[in-house]
Amino acid sequence: MHESLRSKHNDRILPGLEAIERESERLEGADPREIIAWAVETYGEGLALSASFGGGEGMALLDMISKVTDKVTVLTIDTGFIFKETAEFREEVMRRYKLPVEVLKPELTIEEQVERYGEQMRTCTPNLCCQIRKIEPLQKALNRYDAWMTGIRREQTPQRAGTKVVAWEERYKAAKIAPMPDWTEAQVWDYVRANNVPVNPLLHQGYKSIGCEPQTRPVHHDEDPRAGRWVGIDKTECGIHFEDGQISHAGA
């Protein structure tokens, strides 16, 4: 990749791969708000936030961004399987925060998905369901953006342990920015409480990681926070953040 790139929708010159790597190293250990300020200055309106409205880290990040700019678009995916509480919470949150929001939806309805791929797709069966209902809508949306921010943290899963502050995502053709990669769960909740940040009500009902309703359950206090996702299946990621070579393309 060249040292610089041109924005997808204006004449802004953007960092190339080598510059992104340098910036990631420079920003390592920086306060998330410093990283957000850099991202806003670098990418402008070509910057988006991917938010599920499920976890405390995503809400903390949304709150931080709202104090820096009102130009970052919030991209959120409605798979058709999300909890009613999550959908209602999303609407409540976006009335409070004045950031533009875009609700992404799959090309196939659930019924069309079942008709094409079988009855097992009615209960959000991985991995093809995640590909159709999460990954492809985000890929399509990011065709219009130069960079996206995410609230993922290194301590969440073994795969996320290597998360960089800034990295180039070739399959999305966009830079991926993680402003709080080294934050602990305790730091997230300290910020939430100190800043009166709203969180998904399901987090107070035993859920610690909230995804699609058919594949999410509450967890015990001594369980891993993501133990309630895809129970009984050797799966810890939907595939948005990591390609493991096992996800089938929906068109295949």
The pLDDT tens digits for 82-135 are: 889 999 999 999 999 989 999 999 998 889 988 888 887 777 666 777 888 888
Give pLDDT, residue 105: 94
Which residues does 151 contact at the CB level (< 8 Å), separation at least 6? Answer: 51, 55, 57, 58, 60, 61, 178, 179, 180
| Region for residue 230 given its phi and psi (left: phi exceeds 0; alpha: psi -120 to 50; beta: otherwise) | left
Task: Please give the domain boundaries of the chain with CATH numbers for all domains.
Answer: 4-215 (3.40.50.620)
CA distances from 94 to 59, 66, 76, 99, 100 (A): 11, 11, 11, 7, 8
Measure the CA–CA gap between 233 and 211, rounded to whole angstroms.
15
Q: How confident is the model at residue 245 (pLDDT cuts 50, 70, 90)?
A: very low
Query: Would you call 238 a catalytic residue per the annotation?
Result: yes
Q: Is the pLDDT of residue 80 over 90?
A: no
**Mean pLDDT (the chain, rounded):** 84
Set 124, 129, 130, 238: catalytic member: 238
What pTM, to 2 d.p., does this model score?
0.83
| DSSP H or E run through 41 | helix 32-43
Show the CA angle centred on residue 94, arms to residues 55 and 64, nearest 5°.
60
Percent of the chain with pLDDT over 90: 53
Q: Is the pLDDT of residue 214 over 90?
A: no
Measure the CA–CA gap between 218 and 227, rounded to whole angstroms.
9
Residue closest to 147 by CA, chosen among 2, 9, 3, 1: 9
Measure the CA–CA gap between 140 and 147, rounded to whole angstroms.
13
